């Protein structure tokens, strides 16, 4: 991503990214989790952490929006079905969230980047009071130069789990921050 990014080596389509003050990177389970092992894909995480460090060295803020807790927790709980019940998703997320946070911490701290985690739900971007609280928290962390890895909420409302909340989270985080 950022290793070779400069205006001399990239086409004009890359210029908005090079000029951005804040970059939001959405990382899905397919990249983050080794499907065979059900463990964090540490090689891929290490490469992304290097890219994030390069962006930070250029003075850009980076927000990491991450899925993966359910994918990481399901293997540990022995949940092999392709369609999990809500309570199984919640249990897998509860177990996997710890593993996910540690994976991000391990990868980013090698580059002396601090990590914070914020769990956001659909309501955190739609209800004004909750949105303002989430925005102010994110802003405070960015002022303190933290890299944030928002994760999946441990307790999902049934209707949220069915509208693919996690697929749209990166867009919501991006659009709601100033």
Q: What is the pLDDT of residues 98-128, one digit of tens each?
A: 999 899 999 998 998 888 887 777 777 788 8
> What is the percent of the chain where pLDDT is above 70?
74
Q: What is the pLDDT of residues 35-59, one digit of tens each?
A: 888 899 999 999 999 998 888 888 8
pTM of the model: 0.73
Q: What is the pLDDT of residues 128-155, one digit of tens each?
A: 888 888 888 888 877 766 555 555 433 3
When comparing pLDDT for 159 and 63, which is higher?
A: 63
Q: What is the pLDDT of residues 53-88, one digit of tens each?
A: 888 888 888 888 888 899 999 989 999 888 999 999
SS3 of the chain: CCCCCCCCCCCHHHHHHHHCCEEEEEECHHHHEECCCCEECHHHHHHHHHHHHHHHHCCCEEEEEECCHHHHHHHHHCCCCCCCCHHHHHHHHHHHHHHHHHHHHHHHHCCCCCEECCECCHHHHHCHHHHHHHHHHHHHHHHCCCEECCECCCCCCHHHHHCCHHHHHHHHHHHHCC
CATH classification (class only), 22-176: alpha beta
């Amino acid at each position: 991503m950022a290793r070779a990014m400069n205006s001399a080596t990239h086409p004009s389509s890359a210029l908005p990214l090079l000029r951005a003050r804040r970059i939001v990177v959405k990382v899905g389970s397919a990249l983050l989790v080794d499907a065979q092992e059900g463990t964090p894909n540490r090689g891929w995480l290490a490469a992304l952490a290097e890219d994030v460090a390069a962006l930070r060295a250029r003075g850009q803020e980076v927000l990491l929006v991450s899925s993966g807790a359910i994918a990481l927790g399901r293997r540990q709980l022995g949940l092999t079905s392709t369609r999990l019940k809500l309570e199984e998703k919640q249990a897998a997320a509860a177990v996997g969230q710890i593993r996910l946070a540690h994976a991000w911490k391990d990868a980013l701290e090698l580059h002396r980047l601090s990590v914070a985690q914020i769990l956001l739900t659909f309501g955190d971007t739609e209800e004004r009071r909750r949105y303002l609280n989430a925005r102010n928290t994110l802003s405070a962390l960015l002022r303190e130069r933290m890299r944030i890895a928002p994760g999946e909420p441990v307790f999902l409302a049934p209707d949220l789990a069915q509208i693919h909340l996690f697929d749209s989270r990166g867009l919501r985080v991006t659009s709601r921050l100033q």
